[in-house]
Amino acid sequence: MRRPLSGALLGLLLGLAIAVILQQLGIWPLDQVTVFLLPALVALSGILLASVGRAGSTRTLIAALAITLPVAVWGALGLAAIGENGDLNGGCTVNATSDIDSTTVTDTSRGDPFRIHPQKGLNWVATSPSVFDDYAWRIWTEVGGVQFTLASEDSQDNDAGSQENRSDVSNVTEFGNSRNVPMDQISGVIIVGGDAASTCDGFGFVSLETEPFSTLISQIALAVAILALIGLLLVIFTGRGAAVASGGSALGGANGGSSTRATTTGAGTAAGLKTAGELGATREDEDAGQESIDDIGDAAEKSGFGRNEDPEVKD
């Protein structure tokens, strides 16, 4: 019986699809909690529901738990960061304004990200505590607690010696597309960070506000969630009637065997009693016959028959 393992795998798939949907809808980013802990909890529920009332293989159950528990532990490590705000170190500052929101990096959080409309404007101003000349920089995003580089430069010139970087973009999607970034397929809450000149580093939370399920990844996640849910329900509920019937048949067979043995034993006992009764009756008849013979003998003796003496002959 591999239902616990199927419940674990389908639960992980369903939980991950839900995590992507939450991210795409702008509810929660893809951090350790949603990428690992949420799928693990759904998987553990799948294991439990698929195992209740069933006689399964212990080895399969151990395999399912061996897959799920490490995922849950890694995801649980992200619980400490749930309430954190954006962070910026090294003396740098970043202020941003969109057509629908304005913020500083340190004011953003998972529940209150900086909101940007992809078809509207955006401007930002970043400052450094000193002049960065010929410096390296990197911009990254985080998924499941792991950083992925979006853009980087090993040597950035700053011949003007400026300590300020600013930009004013009239259309975020056009700006991204001009740099080969498919903005029409980016949506939801994103963790974005960066570092520059080995001096400043930080991260913040940004939300691209789009129509629900307008991106390809959100549509795929929805389809996967539906299919995984159907599969999980089939694993949980199918086969239970057959298992109950099989158990009932086995129990019935056991009871039937017991009844047969009881009937056979009872019949044998009755036959034995009957035989003993018949033997007893025969013995009683024989004893009665013997008593009758003895009575006849006694009567004959009294009447003179059966004696060995010769009768007297009278002259």
Tens of pLDDT along 47-77?
A: 999 888 776 678 999 999 999 999 999 999 9
Q: What percent of the chain has pLDDT over 90?
A: 61
pLDDT of residue 148 exceeding 60: yes
Task: With cut-offs at 50, 70 and 90, classify the pLDDT of residue 242.
Answer: low
pLDDT of residue 315 exceeding 50: no
Is 52 part of any domain?
A: yes
pLDDT of residue 269 exceeding 50: no
CA distance 59 to 73: 21
Distances from the Cα of 174 to the Cα of 122, 179, 183, angstroms: 12, 9, 8
Q: Into how many domains does the chain fold?
A: 2
Q: What percent of the chain has pLDDT over 70?
A: 75
Q: Are residues 100 and 118 in the same domain?
A: yes
pLDDT, the chain, mean = 82
pLDDT, tens only, 221-239: 999 999 999 999 999 998 6
Is 94 part of any domain?
A: yes
175: domain CATH number is 2.70.50
Q: Which residue, 63, 21, 61, 56, is CA-closest to 39?
A: 21
Residue found under tokens 């009447």: 303
pLDDT, tens only, 16-35: 999 999 999 999 999 999 99
pLDDT of residue 280 exceeding 60: no
Is 252 part of any domain?
A: no
pLDDT of residue 304 exceeding 50: no
Q: Are residues 12 and 71 in the same domain?
A: yes
Q: Which domain holds residue 147?
A: 87-208
Instruction: Tell me the Cα Rg of the chain.
Output: 46
Q: Are residues 186 and 230 in the same domain?
A: no
Whole-model pTM: value is 0.74
Q: Are residues 129 and 176 in the same domain?
A: yes
Q: Are residues 69 and 136 in the same domain?
A: no
Residue 196 is predicted with a pLDDT of 93
Q: Which residue, 236, 214, 212, 232, is CA-closest to 224?
A: 232
CB atoms within 10 A of CB 294: 10
Is 95 part of any domain?
A: yes
Q: Are residues 92 and 118 in the same domain?
A: yes
Given phi > 0 = left and psi -120 to 50 = alpha, else beta, which region is 86? beta
pLDDT, tens only, 157-210: 888 889 998 899 999 999 888 888 888 889 999 999 999 998 999 999 999 999
Residue 10 is predicted with a pLDDT of 97
pLDDT, tens only, 99-141: 999 999 999 999 999 999 999 999 999 999 999 988 999 999 9
Q: Are residues 168 and 115 in the same domain?
A: yes
Residue 300 is predicted with a pLDDT of 47
Is 111 part of any domain?
A: yes
Is 123 part of any domain?
A: yes
pLDDT of residue 293 exceeding 70: no
Q: Are residues 137 and 176 in the same domain?
A: yes
- pLDDT: which is higher, 95 or 268: 95
Is 120 part of any domain?
A: yes
pLDDT of residue 284 exceeding 60: no
Is 63 part of any domain?
A: yes
Q: Are residues 104 and 188 in the same domain?
A: yes
Q: Are residues 179 and 228 in the same domain?
A: no
Q: Are residues 194 and 227 in the same domain?
A: no
Q: Are residues 184 and 227 in the same domain?
A: no
